[in-house]
Amino acid sequence: MRLIPRTIAAALLFAAAAAIPLSLHAQTHPHAAASAAAGQPRFEDIFGHPLPAQKHVRVFGQNIAYYDMGASKAGEPVLVLLHGYGSQADVDFGPSLPGLAKHRRVIALDQIGAGNSDKPLVAYRVQTYVEWLGEFLRTLGITKFDLLGESLGGWTAAAYAEQSLAPGSTLRPPSRLILEDTAGFTAPAGPPPAMHMTVSTVDEVVVGLRAVFFNPALITPQVATRRLISKLQANDAFAASTFSTNPAVQNEAVGEKAGTISVPTLVVWGDHDNTVPIRDGQNFASAIPGAKLVLIEKSGHVPSLESPVMFVQVVEGFLK
């Protein structure tokens, strides 16, 4: 898999196409309160389906936005979701969130530098996301959880799982791991690309969506417009660019380290993923002891977005 430049370029195009509990007491974000007062859905996915208001928490002094839906039975793990490169929680997981939250508590965060979370001026890399995830979980007091990541979120999830299971680690290990169309099995090829910014037109968003969707009928003008609006509101071009141009990322491939991941693992992949090839899913499934690979038919790079019903069924089957 060549995340840079080929996979990053496709992800960039897609990325352009989508409240604060201090001291663990949730508060509603001001934007959510304003939209609720206006009688409008507070949040929605790119297909226009309403979502609940996000919550927010301070992590390393920065604001992290996240969705918190459903409820887990006593002693059962929370399902934590990590979105992909240049994206955000409502884009990658919005259509799947209601189904996933039927039987458990689900937390889907906008990672640092993305969505409605803060975007400090730092050199983003995989380890940045790993450490922010660990502190996010610690701050919320989450000690038992399953971890699901899509694309770069999957890379982060795999790296987090590998590090958390190492002797002496201070990271809480996940109970189970789900890797969705995950980047990062091998090192990025070639030198990092030059600094770039996000797209700025609806037509460019459409090009990006076509790169990651299998079904072009889903890419309506309304969907493209919503994604452009959410991308501009996120204002995350600098964070995405610093990741894709950071030479340190070239040394963060999971590779053989995946063999140390000892928790039950599901690898799920769109069978028409043109961004991260299926062979990378096969590599993850072969490297992680006991891992199972499941293909989602007629789906592209983000099955949780494009094929939510089938995606939820596959994840539910694994978690049960």
Looking up residue 78, the CATH number of its domain turns out to be 3.40.50.1820
| Token couple for 198 | 């996000």
* The predicted structure's pLDDT at residue 37: 41
Q: Output the furthest CA–CA distance in the chain (Å, rounded).
A: 52
Peptide bond into 174 cis (omega under 30): no
User: In terms of residue numbers, what domain contains 125?
Assistant: 3-319
- Mapped onto helix, strand or coil, the DSSP state of residue 51 is strand
For the chain, the helix, strand and coil percentages under 3-state DSSP, each to the nearest 5? 40, 15, 40
Q: What are phi and psi of 57, to 5 degrees?
A: -145, 150
Alpha helices per DSSP H over the chain: 8-16, 30-37, 89-93, 97-100, 126-140, 152-164, 202-212, 221-234, 237-244, 278-287, 303-306, 308-319
Domains held by the chain: number: 1
Question: Over the stretch 53-105, which tens digit does the pLDDT of each residue have?
Answer: 999 999 999 999 999 999 999 999 999 999 999 999 999 999 999 999 999 99
Question: Pairing mode, if any, of strands 50-51 and 43-44?
Answer: antiparallel
pLDDT at residue 35, rounded to an integer: 39
pLDDT computed for residue 177 by the predictor: 99
Backbone angles phi, psi at 272, to 5 degrees: -120, 35
Through-space distance between the first and last CA atoms of the chain, rounded to whole angstroms: 31
pLDDT at 13: 47
Give me the pLDDT at residue 4, please.
Answer: 43
Reported pTM:
0.89
Neighbour count for residue 298 (Cβ, 10 Å): 13
d(CA 53, CA 172): 27
The string of pLDDT tens digits covering residues 247-272 is: 999 999 999 999 999 999 999 999 99
| Ranges of the chain with pLDDT below 70 | 1-42, 190-197
